[in-house]
Amino acid sequence: MIHNAAGQDNSTYMNLILLFPSDFTDASMSLVRLSGHRREHAVSVCNVEVGFTLKVGLINGNMGTAVVLEITDTVLDLQVTLDEHPPTSLPLTLICALPRPKSLFKCIEVATVMGVKTMYFINSYRVEKNYWGSQRLEGSELKHHMIIGLEQSRDTILPKLEFRRRFKPFVEDELSAIINDSRALVAHPYAAQPCPYHCTGPITLIIGPEGGFIPYEIEMLQKQDVEAVSFGARILRVEHAVAALIGRIL
């Protein structure tokens, strides 16, 4: 959302422009110069003019507003006030069997939008081995999709992403500490217990591949006090299951 000098609202799909330390041009961190796609978005999509106010946030820091000082063909100069805390994170840790890269990016965006700050992507018997060989699991592309989620939801705090290539060591050696005092649930299409609604307190949510975890994997999870719950007869894509289950549980 942007506001002009007269207070008129102008809607935009980038609900927050994220700033990075390298954007600031003064020691007091009150002046910012933007170029590239963020400048293009502000000028071409938001139609900003000098005096307009934009909603901004410093990556992993505070949020606030920025007044447009100058617009040129290549840069946008802003005066920034960062005096707002980012929204409270969701009390949920997400653990997913690694999906195909396109679904992975959608999962990351959805979970980021909903306020999840810790995500684990793990191996499973039904995870295709070539998913782990994708170069798209490394580098800037993962961060790019987190940033899209932050801009959409007006947040600044990047989630933590972890990848685990071995199911059994992860469950036996790490899962107990991750769960800690939370209620741990694994979505399993063949579970008798229905998925609960509107849980209170921290949650660890585990989602398998589209065909579900195999019985051996479910048994291993249950040994760690993970409850197997059903979301109904329909089989959802992983990214759809992430959104639907988080919305139902919390």
Show the 3-state SS of the chain: CEECCCCCEECCCCCCEEECHHHECCCCCCEEEECCHHHHHHHHHCCCCCCCEEEEEECCCCEEEEEEEEECCCCEEEEEEEEECCCCCCCEEEEEECCCHHHHHHHHHHHHHCCCCEEEEECCCCCCHHHHCCHHHCCHHHHHHHHHHHHHHCCCCCCEEEEECCHHHHHHHHHHHHHCCCEEEEECCCCCCECCCCCCCCEEEEECCCCCCCHHHHHHHHCCCCEEEECCCCCCCHHHHHHHHHHHHC
**165 pLDDT higher than 80:** yes
Interatomic CA distance for residues 217 and 211, integer angstroms: 13
Distances (CA, A) of 153 to 112, 156, 215: 8, 9, 37
CATH 3.40.1280.10 fits 92-249, yes or no: yes
Instruction: For 95-152, write each residue's pLDDT tens digit.
Output: 999 999 999 999 999 999 999 999 999 999 999 999 998 888 877 899 999 999 999 9
Rounded to two decimals, the pTM is 0.90
Pick the CATH number of 2-84 from 2.40.240.20, 2.60.120.280, 3.40.1010.10, 3.40.50.2020: 2.40.240.20
Instruction: For 13-28, write each residue's pLDDT tens digit.
Output: 589 999 999 999 999 9
Query: Where exactly are the structural domains of the chain?
Result: 2-84, 92-249
Interatomic CA distance for residues 168 and 124, integer angstroms: 9
